[in-house]
Amino acid sequence: MISPYDWQESISQRAQYIENRLRGGSPVVGISINAGTLLHTYRRQVRKVHEVYDRLMFAALGQQADVESLRLTAVDFAHQEGFARSEEDVTIQRVVGFALSNPLRRAHGDITAAPFVMCALFAEMNDAPEDDLFFTLRYDGDFDAGSRYAVVGGTPEAEERMLAELEKAYKPDLTVAKAKALSDKVWRIGADVEGSGEPAPALLQDTRPETGFLDRATTRERKFRLL
């Protein structure tokens, strides 16, 4: 028999366990500029920045299998909806707020199942940078919406430092190359988990940068590409 006390205890232990696991994760930086929207991170072998739908992409830190199952749920939902209704009806708000947040919340509350270790950043491209949206989604189903730029990192302190840098340097008219350079700079700030001034060595060892880009101007069917 599980008492309410046990539940509370185990939920807080769960959160602590997940946050410890996320601490060493590679942060993700999202920037929205006139030319399009980009997500930047570092990866080892497996790709990290993924296209979810025509104007949607995402990248996450955390356990690979958990991230993959989240990704497939998002892709399934987006394509079912896009086919049944219209491409336009597949929005970040519906994918994150409706299709993912609720099941994540339930999974997190189920203390008999393995916890979901991940923290994700979703991006939606629209007609202009000020209309673009970023959603961050946490392991417990909590999500936050924002525009212009967004980050997810291993710790709240790292995220704060990353956002402070973006606040200083962000302009919507940055070129793609400059936006990529800025996101790399911000990633390095976020990867500095201990606050030592250098990215954590584990995050740079055998890794390479990966930048996903949704192109606002292209006439091609496929708006997503890796830079």
Partner 1 sequence: MIENRTRSFADLVGFPGCLKIAPAGTKEVRGTTVLALRFDKGILNLGDRRATAANFIMYDKAEKVLSLDDTTLIAISGSFARSVEIVRYLKHAFKYYARTQLQEMSLEGKLQEVSRALAGNLPATLEGIGIFLPVVSARDPRTGDFGIYFYDAMGARFESGDFGAAGSGAERIRGVFDFVSRAKGPFDKRSLNDVLRDGLTMLDIAAQLDTATGGLEHIPPVAKTLTAKGISAVPETELKKAIREVATA
Q: In the complex, which residues of this chain contact partner 1 (CB under 8 A)? A: 47, 50-54, 72, 75-76, 79-80, 82-84, 219-222
Provide φ and ψ at 19, rounded to 5°.
-65, -35
How far apart, in Å, do the first and last CA atoms of the chain sit?
Answer: 53
Nearer to partner 1, 208 or 220 (CB): 220
| Distance, CA of 205 to CA of 178 (rounded, Å) | 25
Nearer to partner 1, 94 or 178 (CB): 94
CB of 51 vs partner 1, minimal distance in Å: 6
CB of 200 vs partner 1, minimal distance in Å: 27
Nearer to partner 1, 82 or 172 (CB): 82
Nearer to partner 1, 71 or 108 (CB): 71
CB of 90 vs partner 1, minimal distance in Å: 11
CB of 169 vs partner 1, minimal distance in Å: 32
Per-residue burial over 21-38, b = 16 or more CB atoms within 10 Å of its CB, e = otherwise: bbeebbbbbbbbbebbbb
Radius of gyration of the chain (CA): 17
CB atoms within 10 A of CB 11: 15
- 3 state SS of 197: coil
